[in-house]
A and B are shown apart, each in its own frame.
Chain A
Amino acid sequence: AQSVAQPEDQVNVAEGNPLTVKCTYSVSGNPYLFWYVQYPNRGLQFLLKYITGDNLVKGSYGFEAEFNKSQTSFHLKKPSALVSDSALYFCAVRDIADKLIFGTGTRLQVFP
């Protein structure tokens, strides 16, 4: 069955430093991968997706993600973190029934 794993419950980073939020996936066939962000008391907001093409995907708010087939990973990255990036981040994969399966989430805390 398709699934994603987010091994870190929380990631702490200082403002201005690069950040990485990890995600690994397990799929049969070609993976369709997504990142969403959730701010307090808000719904999930789409950040970016990988369907096919370049392994480096650029998304909203300066975020990007690198698809690595050999490592079955799709880590979310940003070169310079902002305090306002502090939120809950979810990795997701589209399964064979075309529905999104979400990871457990990673809380990103950016300190001033």
Chain B
Amino acid sequence: EAGVVQSPRYKIIEKKQPVAFWCNPISGHNTLYWYLQNLGQGPELLIRYENEEAVDDSQLPKDRFSAERLKGVDSTLKIQPAELGDSAVYLCASSLGLKADGYTFGSGTRLTVV
């Protein structure tokens, strides 16, 4: 089993540029999460999907962030335009349903905005 796959691992962009992150969850995991992890902090939920439906996007800054999971499998998180404060690690996780006893995380994408 490949686990949760994220790409790219690292991304450096200039401010005001767009950026996109991709996540492929574990096969069969219908619930997918995007978390933001700032340096020295715990992960914070951005958005949660049940299949293709976003069931919780209350923490997603919708003025610049967007996400999609069109076929209920892989997902893309986009930032446009990026700001300096967006520099962080973006983690994707998946689980078997909303009430799963644990999540499986990907290795994350480290974004640096300069």
Return chain A residues, CB-CB under 8 Å to B102. 34, 46, 49
Return chain A residues, CB-CB under 8 Å to B33. 99
B83 to chain A, nearest CB (A): 23
Q: Which A residue sits closest to B105, measured CB to CB?
A: A43
B14 on the A face (CB < 8 A): no
**A43-B4, A49-B102 given; A102·B56 CB < 8 A:** no
A14 on the B face (CB < 8 A): no
Contact present for B101 and A105 (CB under 8 Å): no
Interface size class of B (residues with CB under 8 A): 20 to 34
**A97-B56, A99-B48, A99-B56 given; A46·B103 CB < 8 A:** yes
Q: Which residues of A contact B (CB under 8 A)?
A: 32, 34, 36, 41-46, 49, 51, 90, 92, 97-100, 102-105
Q: Which residues of B contact A (CB under 8 A)?
A: 4, 6, 33, 40-45, 48, 56, 91, 93, 98-99, 101-108, 110
What are 12 sample pairs from A and B whose C-beta atoms fall under 8 A apart?
A: A32-B101, A41-B107, A42-B107, A43-B107, A44-B105, A46-B102, A49-B102, A92-B42, A98-B99, A99-B56, A100-B103, A103-B42
